Amino acid sequence: MSLPVPKLKVAIIGSGNIGTDLLMKCLRSASLECMMFIGRSFTSPGIVKASGLGIRISDRSIDAIINDPASCDLVFDCTSAADARRHWPILKELGKTVVDLTPAKIGVMCVPAVNLQECLGSQNVNMITCGGQASIPLAHQIGLIHPDAEYIEVVSSIASRSAGPATRLNIDEYLETTEGAVKSFAKCKNAKAILILNPATPCVDMQTTIFAKIDNPDMEKLTLAVKKVVEKVRNYVPGYQLILPPTQEGGRVMITVKVQGRGDYLPMFAGNLDIINCAAIAAAEAFAKIRQKQA
């Protein structure tokens, strides 16, 4: 008789919307088990919800892990860039793997559809931004097929309601992080990111368009490659949809995708928050698989 495969023990620091949605995804995961849900205040709605689900909770922030290091092997950090930078030296010392959902830019950048396997050797993987997760799989293909493409642009529009006070205060950081990641993955000289908030109701899903300036683009090759990578992304982000295949228009190549969320905790229109969470879970599950193989 074979024993059940042990799940990877994870902790989530940051009990806001992202952390709570991540918790719900963990509960559905076959290979992850959330051992602790950590925030700074027991009044946070996420903590109240986690407690109601019987998950162990704490309001001691990073101290919760310091005081019980054996509780988890992997930590999702959903706090803020500043806090993530404070947490990392401690978690590194404790030998934890960190999946960082803040723009702290500490660890190796991870886009599961592009470089998941290469990331598994790192102790800290960074999930970049929502716009990054949506666009980089496509930007990367453009970079492979047309290494001469010097400039790639990523425009994301999201529902106004899915952008809270923290997002609004840190738009500059979001743009700079996304641009840096696009440049790195597509290996292009220049990149630009644009973020638009749209208050229309009913709330709009996340929509991201990738533009590139390419002389003589091979549209057939691009279209095939794009369709393939979109399927790859859909494996971990079911709501990811290609709504405008590679198109030549006005001297530029453009591709548009839409992301609708699963609605695990956040509303479905918050595809922007969902995609980064789905990517984070995909990364964690890959780490879980390695562990299982080692066991």
Partner 1 sequence: MLSQKRILLDRVNNNIKRIALPMKNIPHQIIEQDCEQVVAGKLDQLAGLRGETLLITGGTGFVGTWITELVIHLNDHYNFGARVKLLSRQELDSRTVTPHLMGRNDVEFIRQDVRAITDLPEDVTLLIHAAASPDTRLHASDPLRTIRTITQGTDAVLAAAARLPRLKRIMNVSSALIYGSQPWEVKDMAENYGGGLLDCASMLSSYAEAKRLGETLVAAYRNEHRLPIVNMRPFAFIGPYQRLDRPWAINNFIRDGLLGGVIRILGDGETVRSYMYASDMAFWSLRILLSGAVGCSYNVGSPDGIRLRTLAEKIATCFPGPIQIECRGLIDGKGKRSKMIPNVSAGESQLGLSVNVDLDSAIRQTILWNQKTSCAEK
Partner 2 sequence: MTIMKILISDPTLRDGNHAVKHQLTLEQVTAYAVAANAAGVPIVEVGHGNGLGASSLQVGLSLLEDHAMLKAAREVLTTSKLGIFMIPGFATINKDLRPALDLGADVVRIASHCTEADTTQRHIGFARERGKEVYGVLMMSHMAQGDVLLQECRKMESYGAEGVILMDSAGASLPSEVTEKVKILVDHLAIAVGYHAHNNLGLAVANSIAAAQAGAVILDGTACGFGAGAGNTQLEVLVAVLEKSGLSTGIDLYKMLDAADLVRKKLLESAISISSTSLVSGLAGVFSGFAKHVERVAGEYNVDFRDILFELGRRKAVAGQEDMIVEIADALAKKNSPRSSK
Number of residues located near partner 2, criterion CB under 8 A: 34
CA angle 220, 226, 229 (to 5 degrees): 145
CB closer to partner 1 out of 27 and 94? 94
CB closer to partner 1 out of 52 and 250? 52
Residue type at 78 in one-letter notation: C
197 is a site residue for partner 1 (CB under 8 A): no
Footprint of partner 1 on 85-114 (CB under 8 A): 86, 89-90, 93-94
Q: According to CB under 8 A, which one of 30, 54, 249, 294 is a site residue for partner 2?
A: 249
272 is a site residue for partner 2 (CB under 8 A): no
Residue type at 57 in one-letter notation: I
Q: Confirm if 260 and 268 have CB atoms less than 8 A apart.
A: yes
Q: According to CB under 8 A, which one of 4, 52, 165, 250 is a site residue for partner 1?
A: 165
CB closer to partner 2 out of 68 and 151? 151
CB of 224 to partner 1, least distance (A): 46
Give the Cα separation of 16 and 67 in Å (integer). Answer: 22
How many CB atoms lie under 10 A from the CB of residue 175? Answer: 18
Sign of CA dihedral 66, 273, 8, 88: negative
247 is a site residue for partner 2 (CB under 8 A): yes
Q: Confirm if 257 and 242 have CB atoms less than 8 A apart.
A: yes
Choose from partner 1, partner 2, none: what does 95 bind? Cβ within 5-8 Å by kind. none
CB of 159 to partner 2, least distance (A): 11
Q: According to CB under 8 A, which one of 2, 43, 216, 294 is a site residue for partner 1?
A: 43
Give the Cα separation of 39 and 136 in Å (integer). Answer: 31
Footprint of partner 2 on 118-177 (CB under 8 A): 151, 153, 155, 157, 160, 165, 168-169, 171-172, 175-176
CB of 257 to partner 1, least distance (A): 30
CB of 18 to partner 1, least distance (A): 17
Choose from partner 1, partner 2, none: what does 5 bind? Cβ within 5-8 Å by kind. none
Integer CA distances (angstroms), 217 to 101, 150, 252, in order: 34, 13, 9
- 32: which residues sit within 8 A by CB, 6+ positions away? 7, 8, 10, 26, 74, 281, 284, 285, 288
Give the Cα separation of 239 and 294 in Å (integer). Answer: 33
**Residue 278 designated active-site:** no
Pseudo-torsion of CA 127, 131, 133, 138, nearest 10°? -150
83 is a site residue for partner 1 (CB under 8 A): yes
**Binding region for partner 2 (CB under 8 A):** 151, 153, 155, 157, 160, 165, 168-169, 171-172, 175-176, 192, 194-200, 204, 207, 209, 211-213, 243-244, 247, 249-250, 252, 254, 256
Which residues does the annotation mark as catalytic? 130
